[in-house]
Amino acid sequence: MELVILVVVIALVAVVAIGGLVVGSRRRKSLPSRPPSSTPTTTAPPSEPQVGDEAEEPRDESRRTIEEVGLPDSAGTRVVVEEPPVAEPLAPVIEIPEPTAGRLIRLRARLARSQNSLGKGLLTLLSREHLDEETWEEIEDTLLTADVGVAPTQELVERLRERVRVLGTRTPEGLRGLLREELVQLLGTDLDRAVRTESPLDTPAVVMVVGVNGTGKTTTTGKLARVLVADGRSVVLGAADTFRAAAADQLQTWGERVGARTVRGPEGGDPASVAFDAVKEGIAEGADVVLIDTAGRLHTKTGLMDELGKVKRVVEKHGPLDEVLLVLDATTGQNGLVQARVFAEVVDITGIVLTKLDGTAKGGIVIAVQRELGVPVKLVGLGEGADDLAPFEPGAFVDALIGD
């Protein structure tokens, strides 16, 4: 009896196994075979994924969020189908910018790379055996070469000489300390360097960015938008550079990276009306800040300078501007001062952004330009990277200049 049962079981198992094979082979056969490729350029076997296959995915395909995709339960009855890791073509990836604290430290490494750094030159001179008249003159020359400007240079050298004489300081550390103090003093420690992005009204704060061609206005506007977004503020960008469509594209690209909307007008259109519309949009959206990028213009072209004045006046129909930032290229040297003077006359500069400090040993322009305008340097550009914009701090800046 038991033998009979065993034989029946074996027979059943055999039948099921054979049946399975047959069904399996049928299934395999019933799979649609891919027609031979009609494009002669396709060289890989048809069954393999082709370059660009991912892009054929339906654009409106709904995707599950992490909450919707459940974990397999303990009984293991649920099967979680992993989606292939494809590049997401739907929404642009929003970047999270890094915090601004400590960014200025990067300047140290970048300045250290330059051969004739201001600080190194000064310290070498100061640690000479005899600080004679000739040496002090060389110190003066070094400061002038670094664009510190005549009056601030004379002031600094005078104070330094006096303190060295009175204190009898001779050690390199002691001299470095004195130099540091005097430079920080010259930069001013009691100026309000915060970029005004908090409006006293319930409308958005409005910041306008101006300067001559190629100083880094658009880049700075984009970098600033990133900083603000990182701080949890909502930003609207105004592309009031209507000279070239590419200028608005450049700004819009910066905006898209952090999810900020860009208001733009037709190429060659009226920049004042774009700026006006940007603020209007900011108000409508309840945005925190509106940043207006303007076209580069030579300070010597009166027509263009008048236009800038008009942009400001038109924006002010919505309310006063909170900040007008003049962007100066630190590598331009003393010419930056002339630009600053003219721009200040036309649009009341409230803050200076000094860009491209990474590319020059002439950091002294910071001192000169503040003196000239009586307006603080608020931000510095340290490179082309998206987060290479730092709040200006005199202490950290001087440390970067003269090293530790």
Q: Which residue is nearest to ligand GTP (CB)?
A: 296
Near ligand GTP by CB under 6 A: residue from 196, 264, 356, 378: 356
Binding to Mg ion by CB under 5 A, coded x per residue (else -) over 25-64, reads ----------------------------------------
Structure-token pair, residue 245: 């469509």
- Is there binding between residue 218 and Mg ion (CB under 5 A)? yes
For the four alpha carbons of 131, 135, 137 and 140, in that order, the dihedral sign comes to negative
- Is there binding between residue 281 and ligand GTP (CB under 6 A)? no
Closer residue to ligand GTP (CB): 157 or 227: 227
Q: How far apart are CA 334 and CA 237, in angstroms?
A: 31
CB of 98 to ligand GTP, least distance (A): 16
Q: Which residue is nearest to Mg ion (CB)?
A: 218
Contact, 204 vs 236, CB < 8 A? yes
Structure-token pair, residue 66: 């992490």
Contacts of 318 (CB under 8 A, 6+ apart): 203, 206, 276, 279, 280, 283
Q: Whole-angstrom distance between the N-terminal and C-terminal Cα of the chain?
A: 97
- Is there binding between residue 169 and Mg ion (CB under 5 A)? no
Near ligand GTP by CB under 6 A: residue from 188, 259, 333, 383: 383
Buried b (16+ CB within 10 A) or exposed e, 23-58: eeeeeeeeeeeeeeeeeeeeeeeeeeeeeeeeeeee
Structure-token pair, residue 64: 């599950």
Binding region for ligand GTP (CB under 6 A) out of 62-70, 179-187, 198-206, 209-217: 209-217
Contact, 135 vs 142, CB < 8 A? no
Binding region for ligand GTP (CB under 6 A) out of 7-15, 145-153, 170-178, 376-384: 376-384
Near ligand GTP by CB under 6 A: residue from 152, 296, 336, 364: 296
Which residues contribute to the site for ligand GTP (CB under 6 A)? Answer: 211, 213-219, 241, 247, 295-296, 355-356, 358-359, 381-384, 388
Binding site for Mg ion (CB under 5 A): 217-218
